[in-house]
Amino acid sequence: MLHRPAQWRNACDMAQHDTILIIDFGSQVTQLIARRVRETGVYCEIHPFQSAEAALHRLSPKGVILSGGPASVTDAGSPRAPAAVFASGVPVLAICYGQQTTAVQLGGSVEGGHAAEFGRADVQIKAPSALFDGVWQVGGSYPVWMSHGDRVTVLPQGFSVKATSENAPFAVASDEARRIYTTMFHPEVVHTPDGAALLRNFVTRIVGANSDWSMAAYRDEMIARIRAQVLR
Amino acid sequence: MRHAEAEQVVTLFREHYNIPLVHVDAADLFIDALQACGPDPEAKRKTIGKLFIDVFEAEARKIGGAEFLAQGTLYPDVIESVSFTGGPSVTIKSHHNVGGLPARMNMKLVEPLRELFKDEVRVLGRELGLPDAFVGRHPFPGPGLAIRCPGEITRDKLDILRKADAIYLEEIRRAGLYDVIWQAFAVLLPVKTVGVMGDGRTYDHVLALRAVTSVDGMTADFYPFDMAFLGRVATRIINEVKGINRVTYDVTSKPPGTIEWE
């Protein structure tokens, strides 16, 4: 129908940049994850969980972020991350629903019916994590933004608790060796004041992505692309 | 279009870009059609969209056809959205392909901003050396002033709105507020109220002023002008624009409101 050349149909030629893949489980704030990542100078793309596996193969991302979402992992047929995400060995940051599906997919468990937690909460830092490096200190207490009903009750093997809150015993849990970090709160919203710094830690320190996403570079690439398309 | 807007765009293309722009003034065509189509917002949008295509097509023929359509599609327009009801399929948002024009005219799309968020586009604009006044321009709806004039459209109402809007924006710029506001505009309401000017009674339109702050347009708060500023704008508009005798300020956030009124 539309004559949209392949290079515009998807951003595959953006894959020359170090890329973060954001897998969307339908959260209202998924776009904010992408905004925070791009602010660190790293290219990222959002893809819905249904087409995430294809995106994973096409983009070969340096890191993956799993978004929140409105479903309950305890429901039959609820969304899952592609198993290839965890098999690929790239660092993973899993937020809210992403944490819950990560727990279930890697052998932990999740229960519904606990006191729901919406809005501001404080997390207490129990153990160091690469995610907090230079941002949060063990023993400290920091404000975050929560929005969840279900919660993880048993962590997968290799994971341990790094931070807790009153209603979230696993506010942050991670497997530092496998570089899988999970948070029950939303680091992408401004109501988590240190959230942008945590995302920056993930993208630049843990993933080690090149901060080469600048509008100066984009300008040159895009002019070349337009020339290639239009001039013959 | 707003006051002097067409001239500004033509100047930008001819003087800064050195692009031989074809500028068509089809105002009569649009206003006649809008007068005929009635007050329904959706009918107004459709009328404008259809006419735009007709005019574009006619002009493109005159220069031997157009092979490419460049448009400013942004990343939020193309992110596939998650659908839980539709099973494993995903929904792709409809594009702002100006009413199917590319398919109808067999044009290829050039969309150099597809990977970018709006604030990234502004950074890119500065990289390209575009004048700040253009890079920082407030968003303006595709259907133009017609959707800031709820109800029936007439040439007179659009003229009144254009004058009032120009005064409002001039005062905002003078107060140094243009760049801290995401979008500011006037809306001419299809409501007349009684007033008194000099020794005479008036029966004229009400104007609503709107100004919002936002980072991305997804959520927005009304801008908290000080009352002296609003009073000054209201006085100027009522004194200088014949046809308006009352000014109000819209203090609705998004959500629950939208930024535009139609």
Residue A10: its pLDDT value, please?
Answer: 43
A contact set with B (CB within 8 A): 1-5, 8, 11, 14, 24-26, 31, 34-35, 38, 46-51, 69-71, 79, 215-216, 218-219, 222, 225-226, 229-230
pTM of the model: 0.73
For residues B176 and A89, what is the distance between their CA atoms, to the nearest angstrom? 52
Nearest residue in A to B86, CA atom = A50
Which segments in chain B show pLDDT lower than 70? 80-81, 83-101, 216, 218
Chain A residue numbers with beta carbons less than 8 Å from the beta carbon of B103 are 1-3
- Kindly list the residues from chain A whose CB atom is less than 8 angstroms away from the CB atom of residue B19: none
Residue contact A38–B117, C-beta within 8 A: yes
Q: Please spell the DSSP secondary structure of A191-228, one letter per residue.
A: TSTTHHHHHHIIIIIIS-------HHHHHHHHHHHHHH
Cα separations (Å) of A106 from A70, A96, A156, B172, B240? 21, 16, 6, 56, 70
Q: Compute the nearest-CA separation of A163 from chain B (Å).
A: 30
User: Exactly one of A44, A45, A47, A96 is catalytic; which is it?
Assistant: A96
Q: What percent of chain A has pLDDT over 90?
A: 69
Catalytic residue among A17, A47, A148, A188: A188
Confidence (pLDDT) at A53: 96
Give me the pLDDT at residue A138, please: 97
CATH class of A18-212: alpha beta
| Gyration radius of chain B's alpha carbons | 20
pLDDT of residue B204: 96
Q: What are phi and psi of B61, to 5 degrees?
A: -60, -40
3-state SS class at A85: helix
A48's enclosing H/E stretch is strand A43-48
In this prediction, residue A8 carries a pLDDT of 42
Look at residue B95 in the predicted model and tell me its pLDDT: 42
Average pLDDT over residues A169-179: 96
Select from B90, B102, B108 the Cβ nearest to the Cβ of A50.
B90
pLDDT of residue B99: 54
pLDDT for the residue numbered B83: 62
- Active-site residue, A53 included: no
Each residue's pLDDT tens digit, A110-127: 988 666 677 889 999 999
Nearest C-alpha in A relative to B83:
A26
Chain A environment of B110 (Cβ under 8 Å):
8, 226, 229-230
- Produce one character per residue of B200-213: b if its CB has 16 or more CB atoms within 10 Å, e if not: eebebbbbbbbbbe
Q: What is the pLDDT of residues B208-218, one digit of tens each?
A: 999 999 876 76
Q: Which of A9-18, A84-93, B174-183 has the lowest mean pLDDT?
A: A9-18
Q: What is the pLDDT of residues B46-80, one digit of tens each?
A: 898 889 888 988 998 999 888 888 888 888 777 76
This complex has an ipTM of: 0.72
Res B88: pLDDT? 41
Of the pLDDT bands very low, low, confident and very high (cuts 50, 70, 90), residue A4 is very low
| Band (A13; pLDDT cuts 50, 70, 90) | low
Distance from CA of A204 to the nearest CA of B (A): 20
Which residues of chain A does B68 touch, with a Cβ-Cβ cutoff of 8 Å?
Answer: 229-230
Angstroms from A53 CA to nearest CA on chain B? 13
**Closest chain A residue to B109 measured between Cα atoms?**
A4
Strand, coil or helix: what is A129? Answer: coil
Cα–Cα distance, A193 to A63 (Å, whole number):
23
Query: Which pLDDT belongs to residue A11?
Result: 43
What is the per-residue pLDDT for B260?
A: 92
Say whether A176 is catalytic.
no
Which structure tokens are listed for B71? 């448009």
Cβ–Cβ gap A69/B82 under 8 Å? yes
Which of A45-54, A61-70, A221-230, B79-88 shows the lowest per-residue confidence on average (mean pLDDT)? B79-88
Q: What is the mean pLDDT of residues A31-55?
A: 93
Domain boundaries, chain A: 18-212
Q: How far is A154 from chain B (nearest CA, A)?
A: 27
Residue A114 a catalytic site member? no
Of B83, B114, B123, the CB nearest to A215: B123
Please give the full DSSP string across B148-184, using - where no structure is assigned. GS-SS--HHHHHHHHHHHHHHHHHHHHTT-GGG-SEE
Residues from chain B contacting residue A219 (CB–CB below 8 Å): 124, 127-128
CB B214 within 8 A of CB B260: no
Work out the angle at residue A5's Cα, subtended by the Cα atoms of residues B125 and B20, and round it to the nearest 5 degrees: 50
Share of chain A above pLDDT 70, in %: 91
pLDDT at site B92: 42
pLDDT given at position B148: 96
So what's the pLDDT on residue B85?
52
Rg value, chain A, Cα: 18
At B60, list the tokens. Answer: 């493109």
End-to-end CA distance of chain B: 16
Per-residue pLDDT at A1: 33
